[in-house]
Structure 1
Amino acid sequence: MRLSQLEVVPHPYYHKPGRPRIGQPPDGYHYRLQGTLKVKQEVVALARRRAGRFVQATNVLESKQLSPEEILCEYKGQQCTERGFRFLKDPM
């Protein structure tokens, strides 16, 4: 990531609460940086490829029976059943 188009923006402040009088000079200034954050898409894509791993093991060795996508779908489908019976495992 990189910052670009940096700009220093002054923000006046006043010691007394409420709206200042017209023409009253500020007691001081706080300064803030304002800019644009640029993301390098190549770096993000590389990080996603490295982090996006899912290891899946099965006893079904022939891909003719189930494709990897079908195996993953079946695996994720078990979560609904597990959530449904979670209350049985709860001691309360």
Structure 2
Amino acid sequence: MDEQNPERLLSAALRAQAVGSPGGDPTGHGARTGHGAPPAPLAPGAPPPPAEVRRRLPVARVLLFALALGLFAGAVAGVVSTL
């Protein structure tokens, strides 16, 4: 039999891939999440990077918009029901 069994070929390929991969750590596998990657080293005496500015959510504006939308929808429903 000249042709190899496809199952054996797949098994050999998976075994070869498993031998060449590091165990358990996703770094080095092209993962874009950044988890597990060491942070970039800072030069001695360099100022620290600026902290992220967290923006507050516009809660009052969202609630006011929801109230206006509800009043408008109620008005439209009232007009349609009177016709």
TM-score of the superposition, structure 2-length normalised?
Answer: 0.25
Higher helix share: 2
Higher relative contact order (CA 8 A, sep 6+): 1
TM-score of the superposition, structure 1-length normalised?
Answer: 0.23
